[in-house]
Amino acid sequence: MSRRKPSNIQDGVNGVTAATTTLNNNGVSNSVVNTIPKIPVRFFLFAACLWWSLWILALFGASAPGHNRKISSISVTDYDQLKNVIVSHAKPINIEYVDVSDGNKEHPHLGATDENGRIGYIHDETALRKNPPSLKIDDSQMNKFCKSRDEHFQMMHNRIVVDTDYDRRTMEESGIHKRDKLFCLVYTFDSAHPMIPYILETWGPKCDGFVVGSNKTDPSLGTVNILHEGPEEYNNIWQKVRSMWCYIYDNYYEKYDWFHIGGDDLFLLIENLRLYLESEEIKSAANGGIYLPDGTETTQTPLLLGRRFALKGDLNDIFVSGGSEYTMNKAALKLLVTEGLDNYFPHAHTFSEDTMVSKILQKLDVLPYDTKDEDGGERYMPFMPGFHWSYRLPKDPLNSKEWYAEYSINIKEGAEHCSPKKCGIPSCEGREYETTIRTGVRFVPEGVFGD
């Protein structure tokens, strides 16, 4: 059987669609922001935490191999080449399951407890998909937020598109073409359990598998007390997530193709995430970058997908950050658990789990993949929609005191900063903001706007 290349591939190009324009951070307009969206406290907390994450990233370990060039000299064409470098840099690994739990006797493989505290609990990760709760929202609340015209609304309604037609069409063809299975993982703690129903009523049931890692098991919410080293506190999220990834690998790895993690304030656009993960670009990248997989492969190239930042603009130090969080394929998860977690930072005490995962995978020759769309729009975003709608770069991003401009990689401004097929919306704050998200992405009832 002949091996098939992606439809957009040309000889010598490893499955990457070339961009049609050249971008340079120094050439971006220095327009002034006239309006600033109303931003909750959690936004500023996240920004402060990300700043500390950058410090931690610099503290732990050496830089991974890569192009030793700064953002100011890199064009879009160079980034297309960088995608090829990222894929070819990682070594394909056998994706057959290997048991490294050692009988679940020690962290991070100690496992979970049920609601009565008995160890050895394995949650039915398909329970939510099989029996999703109904969406609880009244008409007055819906109308209130549909009439909002702030920056969040502008980005969500005028830019972001949820590709429900792709999802429907692919479901109809699923008997012919096997769909990738997506596992969604959320981390939280018991005092934040009131946030979980918003996820259960909206995007959670669209995942093939779903688990909430917590410090209290509640089957009605899908929360699981996954045991970890150290105290249950924000500054120890690394140990929590470290054990969560081991729990997922030990119990669910063989049944799923992709694994996405995020906090309890994340709203995932599952249709867009699936569209991206099932695209020819990503399928070929996971197969080495040239040919599409035919389903008989026993090896896979590890992929880490998320919002990339470069430490002080240096492409040697690229990492994924929080916000929309990150996605791994089978090869990346296996590599992280079987070769990474026990050997790198096993007892570190920090909240910076995203940068720690990035650093470990870099040490194993896996660099974060460039997840921008073909027009340079970001699929994974760190902040709320309104921030990105209004954001403008400083005149000299690399020499400014603004970390977001300095660490971002060749970003655009305003609406174009965000891909229409955005995969996730971070920093959702409870029922009202969840309502804003739902109504903004083309779910507004007909006639609400009146114009």
pLDDT in tens, 422-442: 888 776 665 555 555 554 454
Could you give the CA distance from residue 254 to residue 330 in angstroms, rounded to a whole number? 8
- For residue 15, the model assigns a pLDDT of 30
Could you give the CA distance from residue 175 to residue 370 in angstroms, rounded to a whole number? 31
Q: Is 151 within 8 Å of 37 (Cβ atoms)?
A: yes
- For residue 160, the model assigns a pLDDT of 84
- CA 132 vs. chain centroid, Å, equals 23
Q: Which residues pair with 260 in a beta bridge?
A: 184, 327
Q: Buried (b) or exposed (e) across 411-445, using 16+ Cβ within 10 A? A: bbbbbebbbbbbbbbbbbbebebbbbbbbbbeebe
- In a domain, residue 1? The reply is no
Q: Give residue 318's domain range.
A: 66-92+108-440
- Contacts of residue 157, Cβ cutoff 8 Å, sequence gap at least 6: 440, 441, 442, 444
- In a domain, residue 449? The reply is no
- In a domain, residue 165? The reply is yes
- In a domain, residue 99? The reply is no
- In a domain, residue 34? The reply is no
Tens of pLDDT along 84-123?
788 988 999 999 999 999 999 999 999 999 999 999 999 9
Tens of pLDDT along 178-223?
789 999 999 999 999 999 998 998 899 999 999 999 999 999 899 9
- Which residue ranges of the chain lie beneath pLDDT 70? 1-5, 7-82, 138-146, 148, 166-168, 170-177, 427-451
Q: Buried (b) or exposed (e) across 67-94, using 16+ Cβ within 10 A? A: eeeebeebebeebbbbbbbbbebbebbe
Torsion, CA 299, CA 305, CA 311, CA 316, rounded to 10: 30
- For residue 425, the model assigns a pLDDT of 78
- In a domain, residue 364? The reply is yes
- In a domain, residue 44? The reply is no
- In a domain, residue 278? The reply is yes
- For residue 68, the model assigns a pLDDT of 31
Domain count across the chain: 1
